[in-house]
Structure 1
Amino acid sequence: MATTWKLDPAHSELTFKVKHLVITTVTGYFRSFDGTIVTEDESDFTTGKVDFTIDTASIDTNQAQRDEHLKSADFFDAEKHPRITFTSTAIETKSEREFLLHGDLTVGETTKPMKLDVELGGTVTDPYGNFKVGFEVSGNMSRKEFGLTWSAVTEAGAVVVSDEVKILASVQFIKQA
């Protein structure tokens, strides 16, 4: 029987990491996002269909000026493209608790296939009677492949922002009645 799981935003986080000047890593967050998983059976997540939406303007790198630049047309153009979406296309089993999630990521006007590593944290009933499942998700993307091409070079020739972006998510979903 089909089971729907809804994201628990109070117990989930979505982060990204990108190299700055090739010498340090800047960590950022998206503070507003939503997701749904529909599985054929509540205990078999390999049958899942995942839909995930991120509010582009919710980007937070703990530096307001940088956040405004990231929301601008140089990067996400949040006013024109308020959402980033991911829709799964397949799930590969790597082990009993590890999966490879295939899907289509849309940033702005660009949609490309993406693979994410997923680790099943487990299932549990919380103190309020909600049946939950948790996952750790990670992957890498080329920002330039998604039209995020703004770049600058220092006097010494170092790139200001790397092309590779690491994506990390720790998410809980609640089984719906």
Structure 2
Amino acid sequence: MATTWKLDPTHSEVAFKVKHLVITTVTGYFRSFDGTVVTENESDFTTGKVNFTIDTGSIDTNQSQRDEHLKSADFFDAGKYPTITFVSTSVEEKGAQEFVLHGDLTIGETTKPIKLDVEFGGTVTDPYGNFKAGFEVTGKISRKEFGLTWSAVTEAGAVVVSDDVKIQASVQFVKQS
């Protein structure tokens, strides 16, 4: 019997990491996101169909001027494209409690297939009787492939923002009745 799992945003986070000036890494978070997973049964996540949305206007890099630049047309154009979406196409079993999640990521007007590594943390019933499943998700994308092409170069020739963006998410889902 199909089982629907709803994201628990209180116990989840979505982050990204990108090199700045090639010498350090800046970490950012999206503070507003939502998702569901539908599985054929409550114990087989290899059958999962994932739908995930991120509010681009919720970006937070702990520096408001940078956040406003990231929301602008130079990057996400949050006013025109308020969400980033991910829709899974398949799940590949990689090992014990490890999977590769294949799907289509849409940023702005660009949709491309990506792969995400997923580590299944297990299931548990919380103190309130909710049955939960936890996952650690990692991946890497080329921002330029998604139309995020803004770039600058320092006087010494260093790139201000790297092309590679690492994705990290720690997510809990609650089984729905």
Q: Percent identity?
A: 83
The separation in 1 between residues aligned to 2:105 and 2:128, in whole angstroms, is 34
How do residues 16-55 of structure 1 correspond to structure 2 at under 5 angstroms?
Answer: 16-55=16-55
Which residue is 2:126 aligned to?
Answer: 126
Which residue is 1:63 aligned to?
Answer: 63
The separation in 1 between residues aligned to 2:94 and 2:147, in whole angstroms, is 31
SS at 1:62's partner residue? Answer: coil
Q: 1:80: how far off?
A: 0.1
Q: 1:95: how far off?
A: 1.1
- How does the TM-score come out when normalised to structure 2? 1.00
Deviations along 1:31-84, whole A, 9 cap, x unmatched? 000000000010000000000000000000000000000000000000000000
Q: 1:96: how far off?
A: 2.3
Which residue is 1:168 aligned to?
Answer: 168
Q: 1:166: how far off?
A: 0.2
Runs of 4+ in 1 over 4 A off after TM superposition: none
The separation in 1 between residues aligned to 2:92 and 2:125, in whole angstroms, is 26
SS at 1:73's partner residue? Answer: coil
Report the residue type matching 1:23 in the other structure: I
Which residue is 1:75 aligned to?
Answer: 75
Correspondence 1:93 to 2:58: no
The separation in 1 between residues aligned to 2:136 and 2:4, in whole angstroms, is 19
Which residue is 1:110 aligned to?
Answer: 110
Deviations along 1:6-40, whole A, 9 cap, x unmatched? 00000000000000000000000000000000000
The separation in 1 between residues aligned to 2:8 and 2:162, in whole angstroms, is 31
SS at 1:100's partner residue? Answer: strand
- How does the TM-score come out when normalised to structure 1? 1.00
Which residue is 2:159 aligned to?
Answer: 159
SS at 1:67's partner residue? Answer: helix
Report the residue type matching 1:133 in the other structure: A
SS at 2:54's partner residue? Answer: strand
Q: 1:108: how far off?
A: 0.1
Aligned residue pairs, count: 177
RMSD: 0.3
Report the residue type matching 1:93 in the other structure: E
The separation in 1 between residues aligned to 2:146 and 2:132, in whole angstroms, is 33
Deviations along 1:68-105, whole A, 9 cap, x unmatched? 00000000000000000000000000112000000000
The separation in 1 between residues aligned to 2:119 and 2:25, in whole angstroms, is 24
